[in-house]
Amino acid sequence: MSFEIADRDLMARIGRFETKSGVVETPLLLPVINPNVKTVLPKTLEEKFGCRALITNAYITEKSFKETASEKGLHDFLNFNGSIMTDSGAYQLLIYKDIETSPEEIVHFQEKIDTDIATILDIPTGWGVSKEYARYTVNETIKRAKKLEKMKTRDDIAWVGPVQGGQYLDLVAKSAKEMAKLPFQIHALGSPTPVMEQYKFDLLVDMIVTAKMNLPASRPLHLFGAGHPFMFSLAVALGCDLFDSAAYALFARQDRYMTESGTTRLDELEYFPCSCQVCSKTDPKTVKALPKEDRQKLLAEHNLHVSFCELRQIKQAITEGRLWEHLEMRAHSHPALLQAAKKVRKYSEYLEKQSPITKRNGIFFFSSVGLARPQVVRYRKRLADRYSPPPKAKILLLLPQTRTKPFHNSKEHEMVKKEIQQSLGATADLVHVCTYSAPFGVVPAELDDIYPLSQNEIAFPFDAETVMYVAQQAANYIMNTNYDHVILLRDPKVWRGKIAAACRRACEKRQVPFTTLRERDPWAKNTIEHLTAVTRKALMQP
């Protein structure tokens, strides 16, 4: 039951998890099979979708098919050869409050039907409950989890240790910490379904990251009830490895058609925006005219196709190191998702620590949402912790960024350097040229071709938050270094005076002279001559 990680990006992993019925690759989507209502048959999942794993409910199976399932075993009973995960019935507990089984019974039943991945009978926290009740669900779940070792009789089944706590993050942390101490092979974050139904994806970010911070990275994390493809990339980026989808069938029952960016009602569709096996062979008008059962089946199959397709896109993005770009694209499907993507910034330092450094491809910045990216955080930390300006440098000359990268190769910066060289001769060495630029902040000329400082593209004009971030980085740089004088060449159209204001404040604090040029065009010949004159004057000051 090993979990091997093959590739990583952000906190996402492509992993291989071994069960007694075979190895499955994560991130993995397990379609939910209700043994009472098989909208899509397990055999169809296996043959048509190449599906290697599914999830079913142990409680419903016990209640309705106890003898057959026990006799045949789950694989024969469902007619499925891949890995089968069973949920304990906790969700039914959440809905119907009291269910007719016990923690022991559900453990033994899951062993008896020969499931591959089993779940203890936890108590879901749910939504909108008091903190007191939430604490009870956490404590009771931990108590039951501790008893598992004594209850179970087999060692070839992977057990899931659910993390509860709901919206109470301190309880989520406690629950995860306690579960982490127990010998589970998988963890699952409980109760996100109501959170997702209400589109509280930003709270989901808090819940996932809190759980991840307190769980061992070596065990896969399942996100219970998160079956919509439009939020997979966010959850995967934060380290969720397994998902289950009942949504593909539930949505189909309500004539709802999933896409990777949302949900549409069948009767609103003139065209199918998809080329899956279902959509490429028919059209909405034909499907609308079908009897309900046939219609449901086709919609469920499409919903599954689009869900699996999104996961494949996510995996490809992980291998290319482009999961962030993918996540941002999906985040723009819905304001609630964008709000969640913005929330990631709160955890950007943690994300940076957990993200691999190996991927070296160019990165795209669309807006301030991208300031949470590990590359931005990593550069900020390294500049502060590891960098010192050249020992000779007396004057900091801050130039605005150019469209050409690396900046020191741009004709604009070449022009400035040439003027200064000619005017100052040997003393030009005392002037240290740096660029202030989005999204990284201050970039010393000698570093600006190092990854990713030149290997990125950014959309102009910058939004206000990005401008403020760069201004703050410029101020931090001045505070952390020892130049005798700071000279700033402004680019008012891009930076709206914010960099100058931040640098002035920092220089006042450090009590060093600050000079800025107010010319409109930073790269006009007379601006550069003026800049050179100012620099020479600064050098002559004692």
Residue of 355, 373, 367, 443 lying closest to 405 (CA atoms): 443
Q: Which residues, numbered 119-178, are part of the site for Zn ion (CB under 5 A)?
A: none
CB closer to Zn ion, 232 vs 523: 232
Closest distance to Zn ion from the beta carbon of 203 (Å): 31
Sign of the dihedral through C-alpha 358, 359, 360, 365: negative
Angle at 425 between CA 423 and CA 427, to 5 degrees: 105
Q: Identify which range of 23-31, 299-307, 332-340, 469-477 contacts Zn ion by CB under 5 A.
A: 299-307
CB closer to Zn ion, 274 vs 539: 274
Please tell me whether residue 269 binds Zn ion under the rule CB under 5 A. Answer: no
Please tell me whether residue 276 binds Zn ion under the rule CB under 5 A. Answer: yes
Closest distance to Zn ion from the beta carbon of 251 (Å): 13
Which residues are within 8 A (CB) of 435 and not within 5 positions of it... i.e. 6 or more apart? 398, 399, 400, 401, 402, 407, 408, 413, 442, 443, 445, 448
Which tokens is 298 given? 């086709």
Closest distance to Zn ion from the beta carbon of 282 (Å): 10
Contact 438, 458 (CB under 8 A): yes
Q: Identify which range of 109-117, 236-244, 300-308, 409-417 contacts Zn ion by CB under 5 A.
A: 300-308
Closest distance to Zn ion from the beta carbon of 271 (Å): 11
CB closer to Zn ion, 114 vs 260: 260
Which tokens is 375 given? 């590359």
Verify whether residue 87 is a known catalytic residue. Answer: yes
Closest distance to Zn ion from the beta carbon of 260 (Å): 11
Closest distance to Zn ion from the beta carbon of 279 (Å): 3
Q: Which one among 279, 487, 528, 538 touches Zn ion, defined by CB under 5 A? A: 279
Closest distance to Zn ion from the beta carbon of 25 (Å): 23
CB closer to Zn ion, 229 vs 374: 229
CB closer to Zn ion, 302 vs 485: 302
State the binding string over 457-476 for Zn ion (x if CB under 5 A, else -): --------------------
Q: Which residues, numbered 366-395, are part of the site for Zn ion (CB under 5 A)?
A: none
Beta bridge partners of 137: none
Q: Identify which range of 8-16, 271-279, 283-291, 419-427 contacts Zn ion by CB under 5 A.
A: 271-279
Which residues are within 8 A (CB) of 115 and not within 5 positions of it... i.e. 6 or more apart? 58, 74, 84, 85, 86, 157
CB closer to Zn ion, 170 vs 283: 283
Q: Which one among 52, 302, 326, 359 touches Zn ion, defined by CB under 5 A? A: 302
Which tokens is 108 given? 């033994």
Residue of 295, 198, 306, 336 lying closest to 245 (CA atoms): 306
50 exposure class (CB count in 10 Å sphere: 0-12, 13-18, 19+): exposed
**How many angstroms separate the CA atoms of 55 and 404, rounded?**
52
Q: Identify which range of 4-12, 270-278, 324-332, 364-372 contacts Zn ion by CB under 5 A.
A: 270-278
Query: How many Cα neighbours within 13 Å face the side chain of 163?
Result: 36
Closest distance to Zn ion from the beta carbon of 305 (Å): 5
The full DSSP string for 338-364 is: HHHHHHGGGGHHHHHHHS-S-----EE
Please tell me whether residue 274 binds Zn ion under the rule CB under 5 A. Answer: yes
Strand, helix or coil for residue 214: helix
Angle at 36 between CA 31 and CA 42, to 5 degrees: 40
**How far is residue 99 CA from its own chain's centroid?**
36
CB closer to Zn ion, 278 vs 458: 278
Other C-beta atoms closer than 10 Å to the C-beta of 183 total: 9
Beta bridge partners of 162: 188
Strand, helix or coil for residue 454: coil
**How many angstroms separate the CA atoms of 20 and 82, rounded?**
9
CB closer to Zn ion, 22 vs 273: 273
Tell me the one-letter amino acid at 2.
S
Please work out the total of residues on this chain that contact Zn ion, with binding judged by CB under 5 A. 5
Which residue among the candidates 7, 76, 87, 429 is catalytic per the annotation?
Answer: 87
Residue of 206, 180, 208, 204 lying closest to 193 (CA atoms): 204
Contact 182, 151 (CB under 8 A): no
Q: Identify which range of 43-51, 278-286, 454-462, 525-533 contacts Zn ion by CB under 5 A.
A: 278-286
Closest distance to Zn ion from the beta carbon of 46 (Å): 19
Which residues are within 8 A (CB) of 286 and not within 5 positions of it... i.e. 6 or more apart? none
Contact 399, 433 (CB under 8 A): yes
Closest distance to Zn ion from the beta carbon of 164 (Å): 36
CB closer to Zn ion, 230 vs 440: 230
CB closer to Zn ion, 48 vs 152: 48
Q: Identify which range of 39-47, 252-260, 302-310, 443-451 contacts Zn ion by CB under 5 A.
A: 302-310
Just list the catalytic residues. 87
Task: List residues near Zn ion by CB under 5 A.
Answer: 274, 276, 278-279, 302
